[in-house]
Structure 1
Amino acid sequence: MQGLHSPVGQSVSDAAPKALLQALHQVIPAAGLSCQRLPETPIDLWLIPPDLPTERMDDDVVRRIWNDTPYWIFCWASGLAMAQWLLAEPQHVKDKVVLDFGAGSGVVAIAAKMAGAKQVIACDIDQISLIACRENAVLNQVELEYLDDLYAYTEQADVLLAADVLYDQSNRFFLDEFLKFGKQVWVADSRVKNFVHPAYEKVDERSATTWPDLDEAREFRNVSFYRTIKAVS
């Protein structure tokens, strides 16, 4: 992991949620959390500070980071791009029921609610991620609902959103599963540039950076957007 850096100011707070700090310290003992404003959005999130001295981490800590990554401590590029898109084009979710799959920090769910969605469900299998979603929702004064098992959702949302969930080849089967849970599906991903699936089409490409900046390769800063070709009945 390379050093973190961020050109935008952040406010370090002693009020960082204790449950999140405890979970973070199990992976990175000396790390803290800071309240950070995401670029080109009105959204604040509890994230790892950009000045974390990663070069001084011992091998055990680095191993824990890679083996048990606390994904919610970053706002990944695809999530940021999708949040920015929702806020710029709120008609996609306004007055609709939205399911955010693989919610992580909750950034996409929060953006959907800010964009006027009637109901937003943040879905993530990781219980700590759901705590992060709750705390970040409080931070942004929005109300979300929470789900830890996609298959426990018995309705069909108007819109299903999925950002940065295709990084693992084994997750590709979700492209079929999403069709069961959303009348319209939008997928944003910076790791997969083009996938071929009869139900989806690539419609856009946007530039975004994981926040705080992981100094990722330029190729991972280009986020591809896909949507279902037609609404699923």
Structure 2
Amino acid sequence: MSTHVLDRHLQKTLSRGRVAATRPAGCPDIELYLFDPQVLDGPLSHDEAQAVVGEPAYWSFCWASGQVLAQWILQHPHLVAGKRVLDFGSGSGIVAIAAAIAGAAEVVACDLDPAALDAAEANAAGNGVALKRCEDWYQRPQALDVITAADVLYDPDNRGFLAEFRAAAPQVLLADSRVRDLGDPAYVRQAVIEARTWPDLNEFEEFNQVRIYHTV
């Protein structure tokens, strides 16, 4: 996957946009093609940051929860090793890539946005691993062992996925910085880890506290 393809996707949101290879501070072992802030004169303005958040070329930023969950998987490879993993809302693909590096038998990147899947594919190739694509959660492969998901509960309408994840696989690994109480006792908090979106969008400090959950 050429970075020119990713640049064209990004320019639909930011006309000056382009991607560059970088290593997020929260998971520096994985290199990603992300938005290159050097195309701007200084940091993102408030309006530009709001445009990025509101018009999701979200795959071009690596959000805090994705970094933390990817690093968690790299540090605990037994969670995915030899297993069939689906990463829900894959975005840049960092969590899916971490699962592949950690020895998963197969990793499926699932995202509604074809541009995100292009990015996940390109980023996976850059890290020497391969992912499968899925554009529709409801047409996902069967016989999954693990579901991973990071920062997918920002919309209250998405809370129903918590039960759907548990029904889809015997193990769910979830990271979230937006919801303090999931309201589902099957998700047991393992840790709270600080991280920042990469490149930094100067979000509220509360969104830099990432909670990691495993299902039981």
Structures share fold, TM-score greater than 0.5 = yes
Residue 186 of structure 2: aligned partner: 199
| TM-fit CA distance, 1:194 | 2.2
Residue 168 of structure 1: aligned partner: 155
C-alpha deviations, 1:162-187, integer Å up to 9, x for none?
Answer: 00101111111101111222110111
| TM-fit CA distance, 1:196 | 1.5
Runs of 5+ unmatched residues, structure 1: 1-14
Which residue of 97, 117, 123 maps to 1:130? 117
Aligned residues of 1:113 and 1:143 also touching (Cα < 8 A): yes
Residue 227 of structure 1: aligned partner: 214
Residue 146 of structure 1: aligned partner: 133
C-alpha deviations, 1:68-124, integer Å up to 9, x for none?
Answer: 211101000000000111111111111111110000000000011111111110000
Aligned residues of 2:147 and 2:165 also touching (Cα < 8 A): yes
Counterpart residue type for residue 209 of structure 1? R
Q: Does 1:105 align with 2:92?
A: yes
| TM-fit CA distance, 1:65 | 3.2
Aligned residues of 2:49 and 2:201 also touching (Cα < 8 A): no
Alignment TM-score, normalising by the size of structure 2: 0.91
Residue 28 of structure 1: aligned partner: 14
SS in 2 for 1:172: helix
Cα distance in 2 for partners of 1:168, 1:20 equals 26
Alignment TM-score, normalising by the size of structure 1: 0.85
Counterpart residue type for residue 58 of structure 2? Y
| TM-fit CA distance, 1:37 | 1.5
Residues 66, 82 of structure 1: alpha-carbon distance in 2 compared, 3 angstrom cutoff: closer
Residue 93 of structure 1: aligned partner: 80
Residue 208 of structure 1: aligned partner: 195
Residues 26, 33 of structure 1: alpha-carbon distance in 2 compared, 3 angstrom cutoff: same
Aligned residues of 1:78 and 1:164 also touching (Cα < 8 A): yes
The range that moved more, 77-86 or 179-188, is 179-188
Cα distance in 1 for partners of 2:24, 2:64 equals 11
Residue 11 of structure 1: aligned partner: none
Aligned residues of 1:119 and 1:144 also touching (Cα < 8 A): yes
Cα distance in 2 for partners of 1:222, 1:62 equals 20
C-alpha deviations, 1:25-69, integer Å up to 9, x for none?
Answer: 11100122110022243211011124434778696x677534421
SS in 2 for 1:157: coil
Aligned-pair identity (%): 43
Residues 62, 188 of structure 1: alpha-carbon distance in 2 compared, 3 angstrom cutoff: closer
Number of equivalenced pairs: 214
| TM-fit CA distance, 1:154 | 4.2
